[in-house]
Amino acid sequence: MTWQPLDRQMRSFVPRLVAEVGVSDEIAGRLATTIAADVRFLSPEDKASIRNASPVRRLAELVAFQAWMDQAAKIRRNPVVTRAQVLTQNYVCFVYLPESCFRVLAKAAPSGSATRRCARFLSDNPVRAFRNAIAHANWTYRSDFGAIAYWARKGGDPDEPVTRFEVEQGELGFWQALARCVAYAAFSNL
């Protein structure tokens, strides 16, 4: 499988990949290819731990999710479809994939690798706080629809009050693209 289309898609995020995730410019320019290689060369035991994190065939679900996203993109200016697309994408990228892929991948991937850095980025705050808000229905659209407002705890104390945060569309788009890139490259090489 060639990863060039996904590599090209991620190139628009090279500055963020370098600054926020900590990968080099060179790796950021071929991120999907790098992750695919990292996963392909994991030990059989590490691959099994990722595959066995759940009995669900994740790659099949990702393909179905992509088909839905492609269909939804064809329907313009329909708020019902747009909202369903946002719900689906946020659930898949931030609730479904961290539990089934990113946390296990962060442990199995080589230390310092792009794969580990990406998986950790997608498992840690602020993405983790956003994930919790999505999972617990503590989010809404900002009044101008340019961001999602969400409420999460700053720390791990369950008695701590929630704080309001916002994620702008550009940042959210980066998080979503990175989640999909990591998941496709990983699950396709197990």
What does the pLDDT look like over 81-113, one tens digit per residue? 989 999 999 999 999 998 888 999 999 999 999
C-alpha closest to that of 148 among 91, 77, 110: 91
Buried b (16+ CB within 10 A) or exposed e, 168-190: eeebbebbbbbbbbbbbbbbbbe
**Confidence band (pLDDT; 50, 70, 90) for 76?**
confident
Give the residue numbers spanning the domain of 129: 4-187
Distance between CA atoms of residues 172 and 130, nearest Å: 10
**Sheet arrangement for strand 163-168:** 139-141, 147-152, 163-168
Query: pLDDT tens for residues 138-168?
Result: 999 999 999 999 999 887 788 889 999 999 9
Q: Tell me if 148 sits within 8 A of 166, measured CB to CB.
A: yes
Residue 48, both tokens = 């099994």
How many CB atoms within 10 Å of residue 14? 17
Q: Among 19-28, 63-72, 164-173, where is mean pLDDT lowest?
A: 63-72
Alpha carbons within 13 A on the beta-carbon side of 64: 7
DSSP 44-80: HHHHHHHHTT-SS-HHHHHHHHHHHHHHHHHS-S-HH
H-run or E-run covering 83 = helix 79-91
Helix (H, G, I), strand (E, B) or coil at 163: strand
Residue 1, pLDDT score: 66
Distance between CA atoms of residues 117 and 119, nearest Å: 6
Q: Tell me if 175 sits within 8 A of 127, measured CB to CB.
A: yes
Residue 100, pLDDT score: 84
Task: Give yes or no for residue 2 having a pLDDT over 90.
Answer: no
- Quote the number of domains for the chain: 1
Helix (H, G, I), strand (E, B) or coil at 38: helix
